[in-house]
Chain A
Amino acid sequence: MSQVLGKPLLRKEDPVLLSGRGRYADDLPVPNGTVHAHIIRSPHAHATILRIDASAALAEAGVWAVVTGEDVRRISDPFLIALKPQINQWSLAVERVRYFGEPVALVVADTRYLAEDAAELVQIDYEPLPAVVDLEAARSPSAPLLHPEARTNEISVRRFSYGDPKGAFEGADARVALTLDYPRNSFTPIECYVVVAEYRPHEKSYDVLANFQGPFSTHAVMARALRVPGTKLRLRIPPDSGGSFGIKLSIFPYIVLAALAARITGRPVKWVEDRAEHLAAASSGPNRITEIEAAVRKDGRILALRLDQIEDYGAFLRAPMPGPLYRMHGAVTGAYDIANVEVTNRVVLTNKMPASLIRGFGGPQLYMALERLVQRIAIELHLDPLEVIKRNVIAREKFPYKAAAGALYDSGDYLRAVELAVGNGRLEDLKRRRDVARAAGRPYGIGFAAIVEPGMSNMGYLSTLLTAEARDKPGPKNGAISMATLNIDPLGAVSLTADVTVQGQGHATVLSQIVAEQLGLKVGDITVILELDTLKDEWSIAAGTYSCRFSPGAAVAAHLAAVRMRDKLAEIAAKQLNILPDDVEFADGMIGSRNNPDNALPFGRVAGTAHWSPVMLPEGMPPGLRETAVWSPPGLEPPSSEDRVNTSLTYGFVFDMCGVEIDPLTFEARVDRYVSMHDAGRLLNPLIAMGQMRGSFAQGIAAALYEEFVYDENGAFLSGTFADYLVPTVGEIPPVEILHMETPSPFTPLGAKGIAEGNCMSVPACIANAIADALGVKDVRLPATPRRLHALMAAAEPKRPPPTSRGGR
């Protein structure tokens, strides 16, 4: 029945972007009188601010203001965070700096060039303090304190137990344990942050344009910081965005900062982040140390898991942190059927840039631990790693499957996905390649990873951070609201808005497909406007584009709006055509009788009735054609009193398998062959889905082999340019064979799950497993750079791998 939905249609966004006619934040006209801001940032990882003397800068012509932490403290409040020990953060450093690159002062001048000149005249005296960079060191009682008022750097510790982990560990044949250290990285969109803020003194309101990505729960955080009701912070999102990957949530402190500067100067203020600022201070994924242990039967069946996850959030906890520890919480057992789990989550602060949203959001860290553990189980029990995976994945008959920590997995056939991926000679080929390489003396390993990819977060997941009693006080948080509005004008032209932010995925195309499908129109007939305006558009706290909420969320809202519109038009048409609404068909721009194709009216004619001649509408029908649909899926309950939480609405599956060869001369890891099997339910547009998987794969490769934010032991930042922070170019991204199967989600009307994050989660683990196999080592640190691999090879246990013949080298 599907006409356009599910088809690999080309993107309607492309002609504009290919012609240089995109409208990105920095492209849009600014109000008359706009002045420009430059941020002075901390050169220290930890220091007391003794004095800021801006007099010389302020004496320069064209300089409007030098805003400092004291100004900001006077007229704004610290950002709300999810935890009680108040970790105060304003949009500028107050009294102290706590990471290299932290904003200290804002210089506002007629042009950016002038603002940067004036910044050099601002005198700031610091008294350096000892910095703590290492995650473990930060937990020590003798460590320098980031926030003395919190009295510890380990600001949250929560223990969870599901089932009977203690009993399972006691009765197990064996225990297998491993410690992992996941690095800091980011996905650095090529477009940096942009904010243009205005203040209207008579209304005491702010009007801001920014390439913010959501979640819009953060709008409340910004409004509270600015001490205004939400209606006095109008936030507008431009029509195009140069990528986000989670990173453009963390623009929010700068939105507040520019808004305050607009208030102080009485002028509209524009700030554009540069790349050096972005790398040093925009946002990072958190680094995490995981101690993981499994209780196993000797056939490899996992009876219980124990995880101690210690996560480094940098200098401040920003909303909605510590999300990466909790977003995966319900699904902490991954793709495996494990009834007994014990989890300890620790939130630690160090003198690094604050961690925040990033594609994969907690998944890469979790699966690095879980999938490396599964490989270790195989090694220690002398089993085949693939066998261990197969013995533990959740069986098809168990869906919908209630995971130990509370996730309700909607659908899947994991074993079949694994078998399809390894089948068709693929695994044989990998083994053959491995044997050839090893016979020639070149280290070569095969890795696997089986992961669950959550889609559309339960907005209540973060409250799992609090104890059940503490949760009761503010009342429950849960759900995941999506909204879309469909409008038809007096000539029958159709337009749609939805509560997503554009980041380049192609949402306008997919939403057009969804609407066109229902209304019997062409994709080109649907105008989709995604430049969100918080005062005029529909949105709620979950709005934005993150955590794979498009396909299970906003897309469904658009579908529901289209179905409602279709029903309304069917009734109007039925009356005019003298047929029953059930007999009405929408096709090729006509609305007519299914049984008598000659009895039909043009779409625009029927739609026009609702505007031009309300008297002709069926009895009681309100005129006009505008439908706002709200999709609030059932099943996303608040955390239970036992701390079980269904963290997401849908759960896709990814199974990866790869062969990695390590060059014995350069110590570079080369991905020889990579196969990735996806089940993301129904695909709404396979072309766009493929784009998401390929992009996600490349970012997984980046995290596995190249990218890392490096600090020295004093907290100096060593990854300050794209020459130091190595974003892969085309030469570094190996080919990937992407396979797909569909087990539609029964929990959403479209059956579609998230697809954009899976490979970010699976690739680092899969490559680490291959490297462990190649070198016969237990500890693999990512990114697996030549320097690290060289160190591993020097220290490799001599008994593996056992190459039978050495090559010619």
Chain B
Amino acid sequence: MRRVNPDERAKIAFWLNGRRVSGEAEPRMLLTDFLRHVLGATGTHVGCEHGICGSCTVLIDGVAQRGCLTLAAQAEERAVTTVESLAGADGALNALQTAFQKHHALQCGFCTPGILMSFTDYFARNPNASEADIRAVLGGHLCRCTGYAGIVEALVEASRSGNPAA
């Protein structure tokens, strides 16, 4: 493993949504700050920086993680997937995103990317999730606008569609 001094910047490289990306960061830089301010991928949001709200959730090697509790250096040489990857190249929304719009599952949309990424991971592993399962996973996210009802409806519908994350 590479050793870097605390105040030294080092090049960090990984795959972001299938593209090879790199940038310089101190070892202490958070993955969220690296994504947003070094790479300019601002779709991933920061709501608390202490691991509770879930709005920073991204996939690392396909597994949902809190970006605010991850150092940029920890993503080195791994595959990071963010909300920007979900829609098709033509901008067409995927089944999960479509269900969110249909059920008015977002208002300000600030919590939304984290929820979408959590369920992109979860539905990939659990294609036939029950509403109770969905609610348990959604419990890892805070939304202040919606009261969650529309989010649950959207997730249940997306789960039933059979191929929610496609």
- Structural contact, B109 and A17, CB atoms closer than 8 A: yes
Which single member of B49, B87, B151 contacts A19 (CB below 8 Å)? B87
0/1 per residue, B137-149, Cβ < 8 Å to A?
0111111111111
Would you call A365 an interface residue if the criterion is a C-beta within 8 Å of the partner chain's C-beta atoms?
A: no
- Structural contact, A20 and B43, CB atoms closer than 8 A: yes
- Structural contact, B112 and A18, CB atoms closer than 8 A: yes
* Docked CA distance A221–B111 (Å): 32
Q: Which residues of B contact A696 (CB under 8 A)?
A: 147
0/1 per residue, B119-141, Cβ < 8 Å to A?
00000000000000001101111
Chain B, residue nearest A720 (CB): B50
Which single member of A113, A191, A699 contacts B28 (CB below 8 Å)? A113
- Which of B70-78, B93-101, B157-165 contacts the other chain? B93-101
- Structural contact, A723 and B50, CB atoms closer than 8 A: yes
- Structural contact, A730 and B150, CB atoms closer than 8 A: no
- Residues from 32 to 64 in B contacting A, C-beta threshold 8 Å: 36, 41-50, 52-53, 55
* Docked CA distance A192–B53 (Å): 12
- Residues from 207 to 242 in A contacting B, C-beta threshold 8 Å: 240-242
- Structural contact, B106 and A14, CB atoms closer than 8 A: yes
Min CB gap A62→B, angstroms: 11
What's the A-B contact tally at a CB cutoff of 8 Å? Answer: 174
- Structural contact, B49 and A274, CB atoms closer than 8 A: yes
- Structural contact, A275 and B93, CB atoms closer than 8 A: no
Q: Which residues of A contact B36 (CB under 8 A)?
A: 26-27
Would you call A691 an interface residue if the criterion is a C-beta within 8 Å of the partner chain's C-beta atoms?
A: yes
- Structural contact, B47 and A698, CB atoms closer than 8 A: no
Which single member of A13, A14, A240, A733 contacts B149 (CB below 8 Å)? A733
Min CB gap B140→A, angstroms: 8
Would you call B80 an interface residue if the criterion is a C-beta within 8 Å of the partner chain's C-beta atoms?
A: no
* Docked CA distance A241–B148 (Å): 19
Would you call B65 an interface residue if the criterion is a C-beta within 8 Å of the partner chain's C-beta atoms?
A: no
- Structural contact, B147 and A727, CB atoms closer than 8 A: no
Q: Given contacts A191-B45, A730-B138, are A243 and B145 in contact (CB under 8 A)?
A: yes
Would you call A655 an interface residue if the criterion is a C-beta within 8 Å of the partner chain's C-beta atoms?
A: no
* Docked CA distance A714–B47 (Å): 29
Min CB gap B31→A, angstroms: 14
Chain A, residue nearest B111 (CB): A190
Chain B, residue nearest A16 (CB): B109
- Residues from 667 to 726 in A contacting B, C-beta threshold 8 Å: 687-688, 690-691, 694-699, 721-723
Chain B, residue nearest A21 (CB): B43
Highest count of chain B CB atoms <10 Å: which of A17, A187, A730: A730
Which single member of A189, A687, A697, A731 contacts B108 (CB below 8 Å)? A189
Chain A, residue nearest B148 (CB): A730
Highest count of chain B CB atoms <10 Å: which of A17, A18, A506: A18
- Structural contact, A11 and B47, CB atoms closer than 8 A: no
Q: Given contacts A691-B104, A691-B150, A730-B138, are A242 and B84 in contact (CB under 8 A)?
A: no
- Structural contact, A275 and B48, CB atoms closer than 8 A: yes
Would you call B15 an interface residue if the criterion is a C-beta within 8 Å of the partner chain's C-beta atoms?
A: no
Highest count of chain A CB atoms <10 Å: which of B41, B46, B86, B111: B46
0/1 per residue, A239-266, Cβ < 8 Å to B?
0111101000000000000000000000
Q: Which residues of B contact A243 (CB under 8 A)?
A: 107-108, 110, 144-145
- Structural contact, A731 and B139, CB atoms closer than 8 A: yes
0/1 per residue, B76-94, Cβ < 8 Å to A?
0000001110110001010
Chain B, residue nearest A272 (CB): B46
Would you call A478 an interface residue if the criterion is a C-beta within 8 Å of the partner chain's C-beta atoms?
A: no
* Docked CA distance A190–B143 (Å): 7
Q: Which residues of B contact A505 (CB under 8 A)?
A: 107
Q: Which residues of A contact B87 (CB under 8 A)?
A: 15, 18-19
* Docked CA distance A504–B110 (Å): 9
Chain A, residue nearest B109 (CB): A17
Q: Which residues of B contact A697 (CB under 8 A)?
A: 147
* Docked CA distance A11–B22 (Å): 36
- Residues from 782 to 805 in A contacting B, C-beta threshold 8 Å: none
Would you call A735 an interface residue if the criterion is a C-beta within 8 Å of the partner chain's C-beta atoms?
A: yes
Q: Which residues of A contact B142 (CB under 8 A)?
A: 190, 722, 727, 729
Highest count of chain A CB atoms <10 Å: which of B48, B135, B136, B152: B48
Chain A, residue nearest B117 (CB): A20
* Docked CA distance A19–B53 (Å): 19
Q: Which residues of A contact B112 (CB under 8 A)?
A: 17-18
Highest count of chain A CB atoms <10 Å: which of B52, B144, B149, B151: B144
Which single member of B43, B49, B116 contacts A275 (CB below 8 Å)? B49
* Docked CA distance A688–B104 (Å): 8
Would you call B67 an interface residue if the criterion is a C-beta within 8 Å of the partner chain's C-beta atoms?
A: no
Q: Which residues of B contact A695 (CB under 8 A)?
A: 107, 144-147
Would you call A351 an interface residue if the criterion is a C-beta within 8 Å of the partner chain's C-beta atoms?
A: no
Would you call A22 an interface residue if the criterion is a C-beta within 8 Å of the partner chain's C-beta atoms?
A: yes
* Docked CA distance A731–B97 (Å): 22
Would you call B13 an interface residue if the criterion is a C-beta within 8 Å of the partner chain's C-beta atoms?
A: no
- Structural contact, A731 and B135, CB atoms closer than 8 A: yes
Would you call A647 an interface residue if the criterion is a C-beta within 8 Å of the partner chain's C-beta atoms?
A: no
- Structural contact, B42 and A190, CB atoms closer than 8 A: no
Would you call A188 an interface residue if the criterion is a C-beta within 8 Å of the partner chain's C-beta atoms?
A: yes
- Structural contact, A721 and B29, CB atoms closer than 8 A: no
Chain B, residue nearest A12 (CB): B101
Q: Given contacts A190-B47, A504-B145, are A13 and B110 in contact (CB under 8 A)?
A: no
Would you call A160 an interface residue if the criterion is a C-beta within 8 Å of the partner chain's C-beta atoms?
A: no
Q: Which residues of A contact B86 (CB under 8 A)?
A: 18-20
Would you call B102 an interface residue if the criterion is a C-beta within 8 Å of the partner chain's C-beta atoms?
A: yes
- Structural contact, B110 and A18, CB atoms closer than 8 A: no
Min CB gap A51→B, angstroms: 29
* Docked CA distance A697–B26 (Å): 44
Q: Which residues of A contact B83 (CB under 8 A)?
A: 18-20
Would you call A10 an interface residue if the criterion is a C-beta within 8 Å of the partner chain's C-beta atoms?
A: yes
Q: Which residues of A contact B50 (CB under 8 A)?
A: 275-276, 721-723
* Docked CA distance A19–B86 (Å): 7
- Structural contact, B107 and A504, CB atoms closer than 8 A: yes
Interface residues of B (CB under 8 A from A): 26, 28-29, 36, 41-50, 52-53, 55, 82-84, 86-87, 91, 93, 97, 100-102, 104, 106-113, 116, 135-136, 138-152
- What are the 5 closest A-B residue pairs judged by CB atoms, nearest first? A20-B43, A504-B108, A17-B109, A242-B110, A698-B147
* Sample (29) of A-B pairs whose CB atoms are under 8 Å apart: A14-B106, A18-B112, A19-B83, A20-B82, A20-B83, A22-B110, A24-B110, A27-B36, A187-B144, A190-B143, A190-B144, A192-B47, A240-B108, A242-B109, A243-B108, A503-B108, A504-B110, A506-B107, A687-B104, A691-B104, A694-B149, A695-B147, A698-B147, A723-B50, A727-B144, A729-B148, A731-B139, A733-B147, A736-B147
Known pairs A22-B110, A731-B135. 15 more at Cβ < 8 A? Answer: A15-B101, A17-B108, A19-B86, A19-B97, A189-B110, A242-B108, A243-B108, A243-B145, A275-B47, A691-B104, A691-B150, A694-B147, A695-B107, A721-B48, A721-B50
